[in-house]
Structure 1
């Protein structure tokens, strides 16, 4: 025991003797906003790591730089008033981990990059500013490719690859030229009290978690031009798993919480809670798997949304793209199962991607069902305005298309929840309010099994054919649901035969017929 104690003391002494605070100005870095400091800062990082690690201090000032590669045991500490400023010349950046993102564009350049290192961090009250708009303006003077191709050459703010032990705390990330922070196949990742404002150019994702494990994200504030909190798996080799995110404020010009734009490896054991989503233009919660991933054991709870276009989209599809060429092969269609979304209050934007607006879209593809999905304690305020013609809108399958709300446009035939290709759908304590009359059904299910509705509050509407429409659905139970308005039927069943519908303790005083059985209706598809 004495020898063990002496050995431990010697180890602690050795680590502490190497760890030190180093001011980057001691290496010749100049904080005037114009001097390019790439070489000086990189030298400071390299020396610090070689000596066992420590903190690199960025004092007050604007330190212009191209790509900096972080090394083992180095923490960047940005003091109050310190800015690490990205160069506006794309030639000052390196791509240490090239790959292809979901739209087929080659990406990976970055201002701060870390590949295969351990115990790194970024902390402090300072800022990292990518000068995205200025960089784009400079780039297009010499790069005449279409913007859809050109943007990939622009650098991320952070590109952290296969690292173990990564901590961000307190820093502000501003105006990336592409994705703001991308973490690929990292373990033990902690992001806390980080503020992101990244708008002005396209593809300004906020936080991208790509095949990472053991992740905590807490008390962050994200305002992004693209997806705010986005989970990806651009490789089939490592899933996104064991992740907890809480206490987030999210504003986005795309999706606030998104999972699966790129989806080769699994998304599993993920919990997201206590988030405020506001002024978001392309979806509040979007759970997607379209490239072969298994999305399972995901729980999202205690979410407030204000002015969000289409609060929830859940999609299992068969696009089956490959993003890291030569490292992966095309996969089979994945699965989406055992997902719970609870305690959500949403004010949906009156002007949405699909008009008139709808609250929740859920769809698999033929032969591949979304299984065991539970939504409970959901309140959504909607504009209304749907017509009888709208209630018969045919929604495209879009089996191999990019997974987006507009993919299923121009509208869906239910104002509340529209579901297709589902097995084991539980919808408990759902409440909708409408700004104007809407004669679309509150709920439509197409091709479903084991569907349960319990404790719904249906707002007052008039002139509807049905409150609920079931098309080729078996094993339906509807209970404790109150309908305040009037309609021809409470439940309209369209199927060959008469599949049983179990009705228990519902209040439907204004409804003429409880169950109306009809043959399937064929609606012509518009050219």
Structure 2
């Protein structure tokens, strides 16, 4: 058969699918848009019918629709018109849970070609739902250890939990006030997220977006404001990984990290592009890449990152927390065209749920590239980077010197929760690099606005590092040694 004939048949089939896909209105199934009536059965029946009829859109016109868990099925797209609001029930018993997994307002497992689109809003009113869940736990009706005075994340409803789905489109909508992580896509393929608005500071652990062991993903043109990590890639399974992912043209604000790989990092992350993103008012790192549970991290490209008012800018970390015998690795990382400003104070101060004030006392922490003594981070390029620090590191507040004994006393912290402040006081104000090989820093500007007792860069067990046009600006420090190598070899400096 000729190629043109095959193409014609393919286009014909696609056209037929589009003709078969119909639009249905929620009112046809008895849904009531009064902000009070519980519509779960009516809306689920609508989804079931559309699925049975071969697929289509379920249209939500202007109005407020209350519901518990809805199970999204293959071929079905929920479309919220402007002014349409889907409200999550405040009764924790109105939410289903995937067996052994998580609970959510929208659940899907093993479905194909599903979506949530439109200009409307999904508001799960998560703070009150979480408080109601706490009340049920106190009354002995729900079994939970209530660690840290909050229920386990898996029994607090997310907004979306989609697992093992193929062909997912989330476009245009707003998501607000989850009781837990906002949206989790777990082992999904062919996922498109575009032009969404996420505001979720209603409770703890409100990650704006979790992409777990997914392949072929685009996250573009979206806004995330979350009390936990804003955009988070995770790997829960040693047999899977996040692969072929584009994160582009987004804005993120977080009570934790802006763009993060991990913390759970079992399988790994490969072929990830993070381009033209902005991060602001973020408690932890603007970008952090972690392999602490046996993950393989390879071929990560970060370009054009603008970070204002973040507690840390770049943190790369290998650990050995839950590796179960897997050997972690991190290699082939390029981070370029970065402008960042680190404040002297707490960058997320005043938000409803601030990041915890811990690992104190310490002065402002530097960027970090920190492997383990038996697992180096390798082949990292940092290019065209400008970071403005507050400076002002005070040895009488917290101190870490440069003697062999003092540098050797910095713990490996193999099994610690990984974040930039985990070592408490560090001996550099700009970059601390330890257990690494083949590092390039090209056209990097490090600026301290006040004098700091520490040098800009400290190397420890680094072998093969090249500095091209790296400059340091610190008041009154013209003769200060800003680069301090310790137990390191093949250090090349070109100005």
Give the TM-score normalised by structure 1: 0.84
C-alpha distance after superposition, 1:186-238 (max 9, x if no partner)? 11111000000010200000111101111111100110110000000111222
Distance 1:167 1:124 in 2: 11
Distance 1:217 1:469 in 2: 40
Single out whichever of 399-408 and 140-149 deviates more from structure 2.
140-149
C-alpha distance after superposition, 1:48-85 (max 9, x if no partner)? 01100000001111111111111011010001111111
Decide whether aligned partners of structure 1 residues 4 and 206 sit closer, same or farther in structure 2, where only a CA change above 3 A counts: closer
Q: Across the two proteins, how many residue pairs are aligned to each other? A: 463
How far residue 450 of structure 1 moved from its aligned partner, in angstroms, is 0.4
Corresponding position of 2:473: 459
The one of 347, 353, 368 equivalent to 2:375 is 368
Does the Cα contact within 8 Å between 2:268 and 2:296 map onto a contact in 1?
Answer: yes
Corresponding position of 1:192: 194
Does the Cα contact within 8 Å between 1:359 and 1:380 map onto a contact in 2?
Answer: no
Match runs of 1:5-404 below 5 Å: 11=13, 15-16=17-18, 18-96=20-98, 98-99=100-101, 108-144=102-138, 145-148=145-148, 150-152=151-153, 153-320=155-322, 330-351=324-345, 355-387=362-394, 389-392=399-402, 394-404=409-419
How far residue 239 of structure 1 moved from its aligned partner, in angstroms, is 1.2
Decide whether aligned partners of structure 1 residues 387 and 73 sit closer, same or farther in structure 2, where only a CA change above 3 A counts: same
Distance 1:11 1:431 in 2: 56
Does the Cα contact within 8 Å between 1:264 and 1:331 map onto a contact in 2?
Answer: no
User: Does residue 447 of structure 1 match 2:461?
Assistant: yes
SS in 2 for 1:313: strand
Decide whether aligned partners of structure 1 residues 285 and 407 sit closer, same or farther in structure 2, where only a CA change above 3 A counts: same
Decide whether aligned partners of structure 1 residues 23 and 414 sit closer, same or farther in structure 2, where only a CA change above 3 A counts: same
SS in 2 for 1:366: coil
SS in 2 for 1:91: helix
SS in 2 for 1:41: helix
Larger radius of gyration: 1
Match runs of 1:423-502 below 5 Å: 423-462=437-476, 466-480=481-495
SS in 2 for 1:63: strand
C-alpha distance after superposition, 1:253-297 (max 9, x if no partner)? 100000021111120100001111111111111110111110110
How far residue 365 of structure 1 moved from its aligned partner, in angstroms, is 1.0
Which 5+ residue runs of structure 1 have no aligned equivalent?
100-107, 322-329, 481-527
How far residue 466 of structure 1 moved from its aligned partner, in angstroms, is 2.9
SS in 2 for 1:405: coil
How far residue 11 of structure 1 moved from its aligned partner, in angstroms, is 4.7
Distance 2:475 2:229 in 1: 35
Corresponding position of 1:405: 420
How far residue 460 of structure 1 moved from its aligned partner, in angstroms, is 3.4
How far residue 17 of structure 1 moved from its aligned partner, in angstroms, is 5.3
Distance 1:438 1:5 in 2: 66
Single out whichever of 65-74 and 353-362 deviates more from structure 2.
353-362
Decide whether aligned partners of structure 1 residues 120 and 412 sit closer, same or farther in structure 2, where only a CA change above 3 A counts: same
Distance 1:134 1:5 in 2: 53
Distance 1:17 1:303 in 2: 43
Give the TM-score normalised by structure 2: 0.89
Decide whether aligned partners of structure 1 residues 282 and 59 sit closer, same or farther in structure 2, where only a CA change above 3 A counts: same
How far residue 452 of structure 1 moved from its aligned partner, in angstroms, is 1.1
Does the Cα contact within 8 Å between 1:391 and 1:414 map onto a contact in 2?
Answer: no
Does the Cα contact within 8 Å between 1:151 and 1:178 map onto a contact in 2?
Answer: no
How far residue 462 of structure 1 moved from its aligned partner, in angstroms, is 4.2
Distance 2:152 2:119 in 1: 30
Distance 1:259 1:453 in 2: 26
Distance 1:214 1:476 in 2: 39
Does the Cα contact within 8 Å between 1:320 and 1:333 map onto a contact in 2?
Answer: no
Corresponding position of 1:506: none
Distance 1:10 1:302 in 2: 42
